[in-house]
Amino acid sequence: VVTTWLIALLHPSSYGLFTWHPLLQSLAIGSFTYGILTLQPTSRPKTKAAGLLRHQLAMIVLGFPMIILGTSAIYYNKVRGGHPHFTTWHGFFGIVTVCLSVVQVILGGGSVWFDGKLFGGNPRAKLIWKYHRALGYVVFPLYLLSAYLGGAWSNWASKYSIFVVRLVAYWIAPFVLLVAIFARVRLVSLPTLVTKPITCISHFLSLGNRTSKMQFNFF
């Protein structure tokens, strides 16, 4: 976030409608990151309620409007300049991720607001919430991928920053952030459809590890 803002604000020649795109998108991703982290470790009812409130503020009140405004800024900028849309991988993954975010807001809000009446109340709403959480762990890496593609490879970033800066900010930082997020994932909060393959793979790997130890001990 800091790197993107510095690149944008320290180069006056880049000012304009386009500049709002990296500024708002980076802030949105920062807000999404906080929203995920603040909800992951909660376990007690009080901490869950407080975490959910912070999660919704970060995701829906701050992050979602910013991502929509940032996307609208680049879309209108291309319309105004007569340029084609979604011609790069950054643009393609970006718009796909924004569309998935709309689905996420509907699933997440509908599963907890008004006791999940949008989905028929509990326990169906709780199941929808688990799928919302699982989809979030797909959407967030897509945001990081879009940021990587835009920050590491776009003409704008290449023009106004050196390679070392892009390497740290858009190659290394997203990877570290992704590892940090997934290291805190609790399988119990995800639907069985998602956790069962993971459990099977984990069981298979543990069996392979035990087998290799037995063979080593035998020889």
d(CA 77, CA 73) in angstroms, rounded, equals 6
Angle of helix 20-37 versus helix 124-153 axis, rounded to 10: 140
Range 74-104 burial, b when 16+ CB lie within 10 A, else e: beebbeeeeeeeeeeebbebbbebbeebeeb
Most confident region among 45-49, 161-165, 210-214 by mean pLDDT: 161-165
pLDDT confidence band for 102 (50 / 70 / 90): very high
Is residue 218's pLDDT more than 80? no
d(CA 113, CA 122) in angstroms, rounded, equals 11
Per-residue pLDDT tens over the stretch 19-56: 999 999 999 999 999 999 998 766 677 788 888 999 99
What is the predicted pLDDT for the residue at 57? Answer: 96
Q: Give residue 179's identity as a one-letter amino acid code.
A: V
State the average pLDDT over residues 157-186: 92
> 124 in the Ramachandran plot: left (φ > 0), alpha (ψ -120 to 50) or beta?
alpha
Please say whether the beta carbons of 129 and 190 come within 8 A.
no
What is the predicted pLDDT for the residue at 207? Answer: 54
What is the predicted pLDDT for the residue at 42? Answer: 65
Which residues in 42-181 belong to E strands, given as ranges?
none
What is the predicted pLDDT for the residue at 197? Answer: 65
What is the predicted pLDDT for the residue at 40? Answer: 78
38 vs 16 pLDDT, higher one:
38
205 vs 14 pLDDT, higher one:
14
128, burial (CB in 10 Å: exposed 0-12, middle 13-18, buried 19+): buried
- Phi and psi, residue 217, nearest 5°: -65, -35
What is the predicted pLDDT for the residue at 12? Answer: 64
What is the predicted pLDDT for the residue at 11? Answer: 80
Residues 6+ apart with CB under 8 A from 47: 41
What is the predicted pLDDT for the residue at 16? Answer: 82
What is the predicted pLDDT for the residue at 211? Answer: 46
Is residue 15's pLDDT more than 80? no
